Structure 1
Amino acid sequence: MMTTELLIAFLASTAGAATPLVVASMGELVTERSGVLNLGMEGMMLVGAVVGFGVTLSTGQMSLGLLAAMLAGMAMALIFGFLVLTLQTNQVATGLALTLFGIGLSAYLGRGLAGQTVTPMPHLEFPVLSQLPFVGPLLFRFDAMVYFSLALVLLVAYMLARTRLGLLIRAVGESPQAAHAIGYPVIGLRYGTVLFGGALAGLGGAYLSLALTPMWVEGMTAGRGWIALAQVVFATWKPRGVVVGAYLFGGVTMLQFHGQGMGLAIPAEFLSMLPYLATIVVLMIICRNPQTILLNKPVSLGQNFKPD
């Protein structure tokens, strides 16, 4: 039977499960709005997770671990950017290769780290607010990354809709030829968005190894990089849709841990696959209407551009 304590625990854990998806998806959304499709999210998140954990374990400073994870994600993204933007390789094939490279590299770097733990990211405490019944645990007892992820959504939404930089990113995504013709640095701008996406992918991966499960486990992203890519499509390339999709996925994910306490007589194996099944179903529903899926899709997404 659902109790108040169980409901609070379920909703609070949903926010934690959604946070790495929100962070990684926002990076990919900005990258795709510039016309670049990076399928290497899974690999970048894994590298960010192992580097962030390793640096935190060796230094004892979580801030250094998060910074190192962002730099590792950017390094992976730089490889992708050089191949795609400078050498003009196929974006889909290069992204898939980057994921495979990231899986292998993270396994190599993580040798000797398995089984060790770090102190998990602490939760913030707000005077009076954190002690409020029901509302306090739901809104004012999370770690800083949960609040950062929500602030990030607002900042990216504002940047894309209200700033000159956002207009340039969207213009390049719609027609890089036209943007180049009037003097805008298309390749430079795309490099910037790719690096931004890599930094957030690394940060999202580090949240897994430093907060959700404060240890390194090989392959611990468990497909979240692919889910982050799907979230961008689910959101029709809008920041607010990313939050909805991520929290939906997070809630379904948490069902496998809280299902028995809620009285759900469902096999554990089915609950484990439920998050991915839910993602597929949602994407199928969206894709039934081509106009919906194409509403905000950048026209040049996945297409290389070479300045004359």
Structure 2
Amino acid sequence: MTQENISADPAVSDSLAGINPHFVFDFQAYDDLEDGQRWSTWLSVEPLSRGPEPRPDWVVTSQGAIDTELGILKTGKEADAFLIVRADPLYPEQEALMVAKRYRDTDHRTFHRAASYTEGRSVKRSRDERALKKNSTFGREVAKAEWANAEWNALVRCWNLGLPVPYPVQIDGTEILMEWIAVDDGNGELETAPRLAQTRPERHVLEMWWDGLVEALATMVQAGLVHGDLSPYNILAQQDRLVIIDLPQIIDLVGNPLGFDFLLRDITNVAKWFQARGLEVDEQEVYADLMAHAF
């Protein structure tokens, strides 16, 4: 309620007479939520569960924002990705399209090689570790959360390293909200950037993409990180850059006994795609160069 409202209504004016205007506020009601909507969870998660600062300008932090699910983008081996819009109905300029990645429980996952990727990782609580080993109902919930937390931590770390990954907005349980990597569809509308495997770029674009990808891999290796499952299917092509996605299995290069094997496999997977399109690249040479960055 504003000072003008107080003056216009004598009854209200009498009851609020003498109150400092700084303690009077506007109250605006929001409509009831519809199916597929929820209130923004931004302020309900811990500060460390929110994206790193400085945050991009498009991140919506309004307490009155509503998340609306627009549809499914992708089904994966361990999680499904949905497109959502977070917007405050009273402030139209505060609106952001994001990806909500939701991890499945272990009964509904098709990702069966977890042990190779988690070698060298530790579980903070002994109770959780025992539950994981027993594969109990609680243990399966712990496993689901562990994969979500692993990807969240990987995204935050990679973003802070300046790597081309989606900006991690927040994590809430087993759901990660992150930047939607989009491109113009040619008609003035946005659509999800294509996977590298779906593209047919010209040679100069191939060269630019390869150089950027090798630079990103070098940065990861310098930080002791390996993607672990890199392929043309989890790299998005956004105009002149490639964006690396799907990071839950990220590996400690030294801590995991198979770290160097995974690195060579990552390089080989993407090198073969570029080679098939006429670019002369040598995966063994790249591997040797990256090893020089690692030590």
Using structure 1 for the length normalisation, give the TM-score: 0.25
Tell which has more relative contact order, 1 or 2 (C-alpha 8 A, sep 6+): 1
Say which structure is richer in strand: 2
Say which structure is richer in helix: 1
Rg larger in 1 or in 2? 2
Using structure 2 for the length normalisation, give the TM-score: 0.26
